[in-house]
Structure 1
Amino acid sequence: MQIKRIALGGIIMTVIMFSGCSTTVQNLAIGEEKTLETGKTEQESVTEKDINMNEKESFNAESNINDVIHDSAFDNYGRLIFPVDMEIEDNLKLKDVSSILPWYSEVNNDKTVEIVNYMKNQAMNGEQIFYPIYSEEEMQADADKKDTGLFFFRGNAGAKTTIINAGGGFVYVAGIHDSFPHALELSKKGYNAFALIYRPGAQTACEDLARAIAFLHENAEKLQIDMTDYSLWGGSAGARMAAWLGSYGTAYFGEKEYPAPAAVIMQYTGLSQVTGMEPPTYACVGTSDGIASYRSMENYISQIQQNGPNTKIEVFKGLSHGFGLGEGTVAEGWIDRAISFWEDNMNALDKR
């Protein structure tokens, strides 16, 4: 396994992954807003074979990751299901996905298989599951923007919305473990969940999240989603993104100003800087996390609480960094409590 591209180099990794110091983020205009590309204007007929994939056509733990990436159901976005910044060997199987997810623990192979089969079924049933957030012109001008977009895990039409940001140390995007499983669980509860694939690097990642927020607000009616009281979720580096956008707002990162989220849900990050503009914030972390100290997270949440917003933190004994949903561990069920925290803070007054 090799890392093909390191976004900010060794310095940013030292700062982001192993210190409690804050990272300075600069404002950079993104450019013109993008309108929704809906794709097909008429739903094509779906064959019985498309709807009911048999076991031979479904993925399993022995399926090669590259076979998933290149499956015809995913058009040209299959490569974004797995980290595009990691070297994926030809014989690497779904059961081995943890080998391309540095710094992560408790990777659940059954959940990985469930996710890729869910995605394939949705795509074969005619659902659009991936949305670019930049225009063709913007992607032509900056090729890295081709590696961005939103995977849509549909809930109920008109239901509330959340955006989930995987971590990866701002070196890669660990969506298959750190955002897709969360999005799938939220969709099962009826919420519309979007998992963001962003450009590694603290600055560009926040620009991409700001664009994603703008994109969803602009296209809420077409997507049949409700962006009032939306929430931002993230783990590790993705938690920093959620916190920064929740605190600084979209205008700081080049978009026009959109409403702040009703809640930020954070997992395992060493972020320490508090702006005083934080929305209600839930956090969880393990006591054996060697990257994001649970004591730093406790201090961070305590500072937010002193400024007035609702807060909640859960500390799980013995868990290390990047436990995701934490299924089969002492953290199992945390996502239900995080959802309840978000729900409790819906319809709150503007935090700004």
Structure 2
Amino acid sequence: MSNNITENEKLSDILTRPELKEHKREINFVEDSDGMQFSDMSLQGIAKMVGTWNAESMAEGLSYLSKKSKWENVFFDIWTEADIRQDSSKENTSLMAFTVKKKSKFVLICAGGGYASVASMVEGFPIAKRINELGYTAFVLKYRTGKHALAPNPLDDIAQAVRFILNNTERFNIDTKDYAVAGFSAGGHLAASFGLEHIGYQHYGLPKPGTMILAYPVITMTDKTHWDSRKNLLGEKNVHNQELINKYSIELNITSSYPPSFVWQCNQDNIVPLENTQMLVKRLKEENVPCAYEVFQSNAHGWGMGKGTDAEGWVDRAIDFWKDSFKPALEKDI
């Protein structure tokens, strides 16, 4: 068998590779995704079925994960056995580390999936690969979703992931100052939530992120929300609870201390209304928070890396934006 995973390889075969078979739970998001069963389909078939996913990017990301797994420890438990005994749902989490040789800053990535699943094959591993190529360490988080997604569980998970990373700086050879948090779709809502003071980093007693990188994120829990994300996060009994809607609507809680943000979305996004990013960017500008905003002509949602689309190269631009945020003031003026 070739070391490289191909677009025509079945997901079931990928997940039974020796270096990956013990970590199917962390890699395969499909089981909790609307009953869809992709295991007997090739990556190419999955991409065609979904319509906006790129099989080449998925294959490259999984190949990268596979190769790194052969030579180093990639998979880490963020919760202790004692934590899991108290709450068994915490077992459904994992942190995957994509380190680089030199000491570097890091990006924590939260893939999307409507708080029903975590699509790391599309929005995690390929992104981590590119971030590594740009010289930075990346972590991909599998947070609680589906029946375990009820707030604040996903936020507890992202906070615990950051805490775990900060407690293992020597193991990962990282510089923790000005770390970035990236999120996609519902994972974008999770990432954006962590940037807020009242429910995010400050609430958990953790350092403020240096930058937020938000790709087609769910932002609001009001009427322009992605309904399934709201239902999964707040719970069916609380979908009309105004206090919770306000608490978890990012745009209603932005202050001038919110981290600089790189945001992008397609203008006719058919899953998450464009108003989500528009409301966010409006509030960021009102609070004078540095922001870059890119909008592309398409009805697509879930482009991930964006290979072969108008968004291609956005990861590089986001990392440039992040780098600019931690440049010394003197250097910025040159």
TM range (shorter): 0.7 to 0.9
The partner residue of 2:178 within 226, 229, 239 is 229
Cα separation, partners in 2 of 1:96 and 1:189, compared to 1, 3 Å: same
Match of 1:174 in 2: 119
2:214 aligned partner: 266
TM superposition shift of 1:146: 1.9
Match of 2:7 in 1: 61
Task: Work out whether residues 120 and 140 of structure 2, in 8 Å CA contact, stay in contact via their aligned partners in 1.
Answer: yes
Root mean square deviation, CA, Å: 2.2
Deviation at 1:137, TM superposition (A): 2.4
Match of 1:132 in 2: 77
AA in 1 matched with 2:196 = S
Give the structure 1 partner of residue 128 of structure 2. Answer: 183
Higher relative CO (Cα under 8 Å, sequence separation at least 6) belongs to 1
Output aligned runs, 1:1-352, within 5 Å.
55=2, 58-74=4-20, 76-83=22-29, 84-86=31-33, 87-88=36-37, 90-98=39-47, 105-124=51-70, 126-200=71-145, 201=149, 202-248=151-197, 249-252=200-203, 255=204, 257-271=205-219, 272-276=251-255, 277-346=257-326
Q: Quick check: 2:186–2:218 contact (8 Å CA) kept in 1?
A: no
Equivalent residue letter for 1:269: P
The 1-side partners of 2:322 and 2:124 are apart by: 17
| Matched AA of 2:55 | N
For 1:178 and 1:262, locate their aligned partners in 2 and report how far apart those are by CA, in whole Å. Answer: 21
Given that 2:254 and 2:283 are in contact with CA atoms closer than 8 Å, whether structure 1 keeps it comes out as no
Runs of 4+ in 1 over 6 A off after TM superposition: none
**Count of aligned positions:** 288
> Is the 2:218–2:276 Cα contact (8 Å) retained in structure 1?
yes
Cα offset, 1:168, TM superposition: 0.6
Judge conservation of contact 2:195–2:209 (CA < 8 Å) in 1: yes
Gaps of 5+ in 2: 220-250, 330-334
CA contact (8 A) 2:62 2:126 kept: no
Equivalent residue of 1:300, what SS? Answer: helix
For normalisation by structure 1, the TM-score amounts to 0.76
Q: TM-score, normalised by structure 2?
A: 0.80
Q: How far did 1:89 drift? A: 5.2
Gaps (5+ residues) in structure 1? 1-53
Cα pair distance change 1:270/1:73, threshold 3 Å? closer
Q: Distance in 2 between matches of 1:95 and 1:175?
A: 16
In the aligned structure 2, how far is the partner of 1:247 from the partner of 1:348?
A: 25
Alpha-carbon distance between aligned partners in 2 of 1:230 and 1:90, rounded to the nearest angstrom: 35
The Cα of 1:347 is off from its aligned counterpart by 5.6
Aligned counterpart, 2:246 = none
Aligned partners of 2:95 and 2:139 also within 8 Å? yes
The SS at the match of 2:37 is coil
